[in-house]
Structure 1
Amino acid sequence: MDLRPNYITPAGYRALREEYEALFSLERPKLLETIAWAAANGDRSENADYQYGRRRLREIDRRINFLARRMKAAKVIDPARHEDRSRVLFGATVTLADEDDSERVVTLVGEDEADAARGRISWNSPLARAVRGAAVGDLRRVVLPAGEKEYEVVAIRYP
């Protein structure tokens, strides 16, 4: 079992809940109807609808179980309620400048809502660990797959 808390923003928790509800209330019942219809057609060993349906049902059930476990372990933290806005904490949107003065904007979010392409990084990623607790003007070194890099915290915003 993972010992780290599963921090998540309210929007991230809502997204998990919506996916869970859609799978459990909509997709799974439709699939059960299809499986029942296919089973009534006779020989199940050569019935593609039945076999595909059973396989898809197992995938949906695995995802539903995964989502249920993640929601149960979730600790929802609203970044808008942080009192200390001068430091980088969970949910902060941080503007970083590297040695070449190129800027990068990242938001520290939960593992379930991370999307690097949109600048949303897991609060436990190497870059997030390096900047957590930093204030504007602080320099932080981080070891990335491309090598070691130094970033300066240029700005910190909270929703």
Structure 2
Amino acid sequence: MSRAFVNEDNAAAQADQPVERQVSAQPNYVTPSGLAQLQARVAQLQALHGQHAAKGDQADKQRIADIERDLRYFNQRLQSAQVVVPTSMDQVRIGHWVTFVDEHDHEQRVQLVGEDQADAASGLINWGSPLGRALLGAKVGDEVIWERPVGNLAIEIIAIELD
């Protein structure tokens, strides 16, 4: 067999391998509900893997590879999770709900969470995002600068709450 065909076969096999999910370099701080979500995701992926693997030769090999990639990622996230349970409300911490008002009198309420739990549409903000970094450590009455791509925005913290 020609070397060209061997190399093509190797390239095709490598192309079928899923690209690994990138793991953030920032510490993996999670809220208790974020930890529960990670645990549920791992359990869901394990069940899904079992269902697909049980099909034997009929199984979609690419789907199994994708599930295994996601399992590696979420298992790693679960292993590195550092649960943060805020107690005092003197300063904004991960897990706190924060209400702030901007210089245009627009009020917003968000919760600082870990990156795997973040969902901006639901008000769940990654603590390492520009908004999260601006809020972290602030106190009620503090004015902080939210550095945004469209321009900086001054915001004032008006409330800090637990769940």
- TM-score in same-fold range (> 0.5): yes
Name the SS of the counterpart of 1:95 in structure 2.
Answer: strand
| 1:141 matched residue in structure 2 | 145
Counterpart of 1:59 in structure 2: which amino acid? D
Question: C-alpha distance in 2, partners of 1:97/1:3?
Answer: 31
Deviation at 1:33, TM superposition (A): 2.0
Instruction: Indicate which of 128, 131, 135 corresponds to 1:127.
Output: 131
Count of equivalent residues? 141
Deviation sequence 1:4-33 (CA, Å, 0-9, x none): 320001111111111111211x21111112
Question: C-alpha distance in 2, partners of 1:147/1:76?
Answer: 33
| 2:48 matched residue in structure 1 | 27
| 2:66 matched residue in structure 1 | 59
Question: C-alpha distance in 1, partners of 2:45/2:146?
Answer: 39
Counterpart of 1:33 in structure 2: which amino acid? A
Name the SS of the counterpart of 2:132 in structure 1.
Answer: helix
Counterpart of 1:29 in structure 2: which amino acid? G
Question: C-alpha distance in 1, partners of 2:62/2:103?
Answer: 51
The answer as to 2:98 corresponding to 1:94 is: yes
Counterpart of 2:72 in structure 1: which amino acid? N
Name the SS of the counterpart of 1:85 in structure 2.
Answer: coil
| 2:20 matched residue in structure 1 | none
Counterpart of 1:78 in structure 2: which amino acid? V
Counterpart of 2:152 in structure 1: which amino acid? E
Once superposed, which parts of structure 1, at least 4 consecutive aligned residues long, lie more than 2 Å away?
Answer: 1-4
Deviation sequence 1:55-94 (CA, Å, 0-9, x none): 0000000000001100111101123xx2x31211111100
| 1:108 matched residue in structure 2 | 112
Question: C-alpha distance in 2, partners of 1:151/1:27?
Answer: 44
Counterpart of 1:32 in structure 2: which amino acid? A
Deviation at 1:3, TM superposition (A): 4.8
Question: C-alpha distance in 2, partners of 1:119/1:112?
Answer: 14
Runs (5+) with no aligned partner, structure 2: 1-22
Give the alignment's Cα RMSD to 1 decimal. 1.4
The answer as to 2:134 corresponding to 1:158 is: no
